[in-house]
Structure formats: structure tokens, C-alpha cells
Amino acid sequence: MDKKELEELKQKLFNKKENGWNSKTNQEKQEIFDYSKGYIDYMNISKTEREIIYNSEKIAIENGFKDIKDVKDLNPGDKVYWNNRGKSMYLAIIGKNNIEDGLNIIGSHADSPRLDLKPNPLYEDSDFAYFKTHYYGGIKKYQWTAIPLSIHGVIVKTNGEKIFVSIGEDRDDPIFTITDLLPHLAQDQMKKKLSEGIEGEDLNLLIGNIPFDTDIPEAVKLNILNILNEKYGITEKDLLSSELELVPAMLCRSMGFDNSMIAGYGQDDKICVYASLTALMEIQNPEKTAICIISDKEEIGSMGNTGMESHVFDTFISEILNKLNINRPNLLEKVFCNSKMLSADVDVGLDPIYSSVSEKNNACYLSRGIALNKYTGARGKSGASDANAEFVAEIRKIFENYNIKYQFGELGKVDVGGGGTIAYILANKGIEVIDCGVPVLSMHSPYEVTSKLDLYEAYRGYKAFWKNA
């Protein structure tokens, strides 16, 4: 064989891995940039799971979705949703086919690692007022000091009044921060392991310094409570029934001289929420019923009544069967056994600075397209839902037919670690599931990085799945 023939053979037989920008036309690049603007805007008003659900419900209603509780009968083409306590949501577009043939599901999660306030958060020390916190999800604690933080969430009074809090996002708002030790006096701290340099009990949010005009004990705390009372009409006790979350007070923004990337908080997994939600909005009259899940509590194990382990999702599907007037015993289980799902969660992107944790042949790379994990789990696939080869082939076929850029990888080297998603929970119901999301750098940090190309391929890939699976 001559050199040219060898090159051709290589082209034919190799799984070519390349930067996806190579094959995009100028018009396609423009589409990618335009689409990512919508994502950045959505991210900047959706820092928490409650804000994601609030904004996503609005988008759904604008696109003709109705609350399933307000619908009596369902017919093909109908669009309905179930808002689960403002923290998770399930959406459906009823298909033309018999629903017994199964659902096409895409599921992501809206919660992200953050700092929550403790039930009794407020205290004073040395003329400073502080909020105590308890971190939520897997964080590197040192990353959360010395950055601007905002407070989001709700305070619910015993009379049922719900006060929505969002402070620190507007330019005119104050922000908050957790202080760190100056390097001049940090000799002992700097000798500690990175995991111990900042302790959980030291993640205390600095919130005030002015005493309430008299010389009484805890006068700074009193002043803060007085401000909160004037602003929100609450007392210290009302903080017991609150859910207040601290998130980075930093904008999600376009990144790089070439504007190729996006930097922002909470892209795990709000990037897959946005890609799947916007894809669903473009589906009309599908063959199979299209289901979109926006889940909560994934970062702490999916437990609780808004997490994926709860049975509220099953109830939503049962309600669909009821309102199609076809429900009967065991139909729900049968529907699940015939269903297919993309578990839309982010994946680790290879970071050349930390490449030693990845195995290069099985790492996912930014800008090489949507990332699929046949299995997740850690050290020997422990706890993994391992997608069946037959199903993997089906997904490949769809993506290849639609020219979706995709890549397969693992989350890190075999013995180094691993992760989990909601995939196994749905797989346990009998659904065919594979993890399929966007690769991320600096995952779980206050400022995660993604590629605009991968976001767009996820959106296109999800749309192709709903139309063709």
C-alpha cells in the first residue's frame, strides 16, 4: 500500500477524535454563539434549583405547556408538566404511538454544590455578625472563601407567608464573603492538607459590623435582625423555617479571546437542564411520548420528595395514563420497561494541567461534542448503571444520522475515583439509560468552564433523541 492508501484505510477504520470547531461552518459557529447567549441569560437569573424551576415553568407555559392538574383528558400532541414543590419538575409531550411502547426520557438536575445556612445561623463575634453555613454537595472548601457570595432562597412564616430572597446579584445590592487568613500569618494553615486548610465550621459568612446604637451585648446581631425585620418582616425564629443558599455572586460569561467557552457557577447540571428544556420546546407531535425531568437533590444522593428517588415522577406518569383513560394494573411498570432515557448530566473534561487523573484514551475533551458515559461508578464500576450495548448502538445510530458530535469516556482513571448521576434510579425501573451530557472543567467549583460547541451539540443531540428514539 502506498502512503495515500494507508491514510485512507486509517480514515476508514479509526475512531477519529478531533476538535469539533474544525468541522463547523461560519454559519454553524454563529448558531452556536447565538444559542449560548440564551443560555448565559438563563443562568444569570437561575442560580438555585428554585430559580431554575421558576424560570423553566415560565418558558414551558409560554410554549403551550399546561399544569397537568388543570387538564382533564390528554390526547396526542398535548403538553403538560408537574411542578414538584418548586424544586423539581417533569414535563411531557404526549406521543402519537401507543404509550405502552415506552417513553423517551431526558433527565437532568437543577441543584448545584453551594453553602446552605444552618437552622440557627446568626451570631456575633468581636463586633462582626455572621451566618453559620453547612455546605451542600461535594465542594473544595478553600474555594469558597474570599469570593463574592449572594443569598438566595425562601423564608416561610408560620402564617404561610413565603418571602423570596435574592440579594447580591444587582449591582446596587451588597454582597457577602467568607474571610480567609492573610499569608503573612498562615504558616500553620499552609502546612495543612488542602482538605483541612479550611474547616466546615469556619465557613461563616460575614454579614455586618454596625452596632444597634446602644451599648448592649450582641448589638451588631440586633442591628442585623432589625434590618431583616424592616426588610422582610421576620424575626430570628423565622430563619428556622427558611431555605437560604449562598452562591457565587459572579456573572455567567462568555470566555476566551475566541469566545469559545462559558464560565459560570452551577453549570453542573444547569447546562443540561437548559439544553434539554430548549430542545423539548421545539418538539411537536412526537411519535413516542417525550418526557423531560428536571430533578433536585442529585448532589446529595437524590433522596427526599424532590429528589429522583422519590415516587413523585411515577405519580406524574400514572396521572398521564389516567388522563389518557387507559390506565390499568401494572401498566406503569410495563411502560417503564419499554422506555429509553438519556441521563443528562455533566461529565469531567480533560484538563491538561491535571491530566494525571484521566486516562487520555478514555477521557472526554472540551469541544469534542456531547460526552457519553456507558457507566459511571467508582473503582470497579461500583454503584454504576452500565448501559446495554444494544442501547448504546441505538444512541450512536441516532447521533451519527444527525451528525451530532459525540465522544465516549470515563470519569477519571480506574482507581482514582468516580461519580454518580440519576441514571441508576431510572434504570432500576427497567428503563434503558445512558449518561449523556456536557464536559466541564473545574467541576463543583464556584466557577465552572464549558465549551459552547458541546452545549449546542447536547441541545441538538437531545432533540434528535426525542424525535427518533
Minimal distance, residue 298 CB to Mn ion, in Å: 6
* CA dihedral (85, 89, 90, 92) positive or negative: positive
- d(C-alpha 196, C-alpha 118), whole Å: 21
Using the rule CB under 5 A, is 435 a contact of Mn ion? no
Minimal distance, residue 42 CB to Mn ion, in Å: 17
Counting runs of H as helices and runs of E as strands, what totals does the chain give?
A: 12, 22
Using the rule CB under 5 A, is 78 a contact of Mn ion? no
- Return the range that interacts with Mn ion (CB under 5 A); candidates 9-17, 73-81, 245-253, 260-268: 260-268
- d(C-alpha 385, C-alpha 381), whole Å: 8
The nearer residue to Mn ion, 245 or 345, going by C-beta atoms, is 345
Site string for Mn ion, 15-54 (x = CB under 5 A): ----------------------------------------
Site string for Mn ion, 210-249 (x = CB under 5 A): ----------------------------------------
- Return the range that interacts with Mn ion (CB under 5 A); candidates 228-236, 264-272, 275-283, 410-418: 264-272
Using the rule CB under 5 A, is 347 a contact of Mn ion? no
- Return the range that interacts with Mn ion (CB under 5 A); candidates 167-175, 248-256, 304-312, 340-348: 340-348
Position closest to Mn ion via CB: 269
How many Cβ atoms are within 10 Å of 208's Cβ, its own excluded?
20
- Phi/psi for 105 (5° steps) reads -115, 140
Given a contact cutoff of 8 angstroms between Cβ atoms, the answer to whether 437 and 458 are in contact is yes
Q: Beta 377-378 vs 418-419: how paired, if at all?
A: antiparallel
- Return the range that interacts with Mn ion (CB under 5 A); candidates 145-153, 265-273, 318-326, 448-456: 265-273
Using the rule CB under 5 A, is 345 a contact of Mn ion? yes
Minimal distance, residue 418 CB to Mn ion, in Å: 12
Site for Mn ion in 131-170 (CB under 5 A): none
Minimal distance, residue 306 CB to Mn ion, in Å: 15
Using the rule CB under 5 A, is 269 a contact of Mn ion? yes
- Return the range that interacts with Mn ion (CB under 5 A); candidates 94-102, 179-187, 267-275, 319-327: 267-275
The nearer residue to Mn ion, 131 or 424, going by C-beta atoms, is 424
The nearer residue to Mn ion, 345 or 351, going by C-beta atoms, is 345
Name the residue with cell 469570593: 147
Burial 99-114 (b: 16+ CB within 10 A, else e): beebbbbbbbbbbbbb
- Return the range that interacts with Mn ion (CB under 5 A); candidates 60-68, 215-223, 266-274, 361-369: 266-274
Q: Which of 268, 351, 432, 457 binds Mn ion (CB under 5 A)?
A: 268
The nearer residue to Mn ion, 267 or 310, going by C-beta atoms, is 267
Minimal distance, residue 413 CB to Mn ion, in Å: 19
Minimal distance, residue 380 CB to Mn ion, in Å: 21
DSSP 180-212: ---GGG-HHHHHS-HHHHS-GGG--EEEE----
The grid coordinates of residue 298 equal: 442529585
> Does an H or E element contain 104, and which?
strand 103-109
Burial 49-61 (b: 16+ CB within 10 A, else e): bbbbbbbbbeebe
The nearer residue to Mn ion, 200 or 301, going by C-beta atoms, is 301
The nearer residue to Mn ion, 291 or 438, going by C-beta atoms, is 438
- Return the range that interacts with Mn ion (CB under 5 A); candidates 32-40, 78-86, 217-225, 262-270: 262-270
- d(C-alpha 167, C-alpha 136), whole Å: 19
Size of the site for Mn ion (CB under 5 A): 3
388: left (phi over 0), alpha (psi -120 to 50) or beta: beta
For residue 272, CA distances in Å to 170, 213, 294, 318, 424 come to 26, 50, 9, 26, 18
How many Cβ atoms are within 10 Å of 35's Cβ, its own excluded?
17
The nearer residue to Mn ion, 207 or 384, going by C-beta atoms, is 384
DSSP 246-264: EEE----EEESTT--EEEE
CA atoms within 13 A on the CB side of 342: 33
Minimal distance, residue 457 CB to Mn ion, in Å: 18
Q: Which residues are CB-contacts of 65 (< 8 A; sequence separation ≥ 6)?
A: 79, 80, 81, 91
Footprint on this chain of Mn ion (rule: CB under 5 A) = 268-269, 345
